[in-house]
Amino acid sequence: MSPDGPPSGDGLTPALRACLATLRLRPRYARGRDGPGQHASRNRGAGLEFAQYRAYEPGDEPRQIDWKLYARSDRFFVRESERESPIRAWVLLDTTASMAQADDAAPQRTRLDVARLLAACVVEIAHRQGDACGLATCGGTGLTLIAPGTGPRQRDRLRHALAQARAVGDWPDAATLVPAWGRIARGDLVVAIGDWFDTAAVEDLLQLARAGREVVALQVLTADERDFPFRDGRRFLDPETGEALLGDGPALRADYLARFAAAQRALAARLAADGIAFASHVVDTPPEGVLRALFGDRPR
């Protein structure tokens, strides 16, 4: 058993929950419930002005506990504050066939498994902030939408939908995606989780950003894609197109690693040019690192 203890039903270990309690969804452009612009809201979360107490939950930071109230009541309570503006967030999850990819050394752990965990983390951060969160899954089965909402029932609804997601087929065409793009409003925060190897998928993220949606792209890579550890001849297959390439692993490795690094730099530059925050996560590394990079404290 891990020293952090077993994961809960949503896959979040106590250590990961403790990390999530320190993270915030902070769009650069706040969106009020009645229109754009900063204004006070009754949403609860991290902020400046005290709003209320709530019972302590595992993963809450000790510094949030009101120790004077504990001395009087012998119970743990956490101080919550009002934030200056509400957030409406979406998790956009790539469920194409390439998300079923797994490493040779760990075939039981697919890219989609890790993407689902990262998506659950985003949902949990939004829930802790009291902000609305929705879900859009895009894959061979088409488009699935769950409108943003708040509260424990919404969190459970999103968790269930994530657990049901399956990796099949290609990225949907533009006509299929119209309902999603119409529901994601200007000023909404979109956390897009996928491998982002598909040119059409990347172009859709760029179009969202150009249309005034704030987009964060979280890329999930396998360890094999990062390391290319193959020591034999093999047949490499594209799960979405069916195209195959026969090659010798050691002979291809140096060229592959150079091309892969160049492609990653080009992708990061292309996204950055349209204001999209981008980070990559490899499935054999702890998720806390990439989550802190995207949602941790930003320099002022």
Q: What is the CATH number of the domain that holds 129?
A: 3.40.50.410
**Does residue 8 register a pLDDT over 70?**
no
Whole-prediction pTM value?
Answer: 0.79
Write down the pLDDT at residue 41.
Answer: 42
Write down the pLDDT at residue 180.
Answer: 85
Range of the domain at 48: 16-82
Write down the pLDDT at residue 273.
Answer: 97
Hey, what are 236's tokens?
């490499």
100 with 222, same domain: the answer is: yes
pLDDT tens, residue by residue, 43-65: 444 444 555 666 776 666 677 77
Which one of 32, 54, 82 terminates a domain?
82
Q: How confident is the prediction for the chain on average, in pLDDT?
A: 84
pLDDT tens, residue by residue, 231-266: 877 767 666 666 767 777 788 899 999 999 999 999
Tell me the mean pLDDT in the region 199-213: 95
Which one of 53, 82, 111 terminates a domain?
82
Q: In what order do the strands lie in the sheet with 44-45?
A: 44-45, 77-82, 49-55
Write down the pLDDT at residue 69.
Answer: 79
pLDDT tens, residue by residue, 70-110: 788 888 877 765 544 578 999 999 999 999 999 999 999 99
72 assigned to some structural domain = yes
11 assigned to some structural domain = no
Write down the pLDDT at residue 153.
Answer: 94
Residue 143 contacts residue 200 (beta carbons within 8 Å) = no
Which one of 25, 49, 82 terminates a domain?
82
Q: What percent of the chain has pLDDT over 70?
A: 80
- Token look-up 């699935």 returns 144
CA dihedral 32, 219, 102, 286 (to 10 degrees): -80
160 assigned to some structural domain = yes
Write down the pLDDT at residue 298.
Answer: 59
Write down the pLDDT at residue 29.
Answer: 56
Write down the pLDDT at residue 64.
Answer: 74
In terms of Cα–Cα distance, which of 290, 267, 134, 276 is closest to 215?
276
Q: How many domains does the chain have?
A: 2
User: Would you give the DSSP letter of residue 298?
Assistant: P
Beta carbons within 8 Å of 31's beta carbon, 6+ residues apart: 85, 86, 87, 88, 185, 187, 188
162 with 53, same domain: the answer is: no
Q: What percent of the chain has pLDDT over 90?
A: 62
In terms of Cα–Cα distance, which of 183, 185, 178 is closest to 204?
178
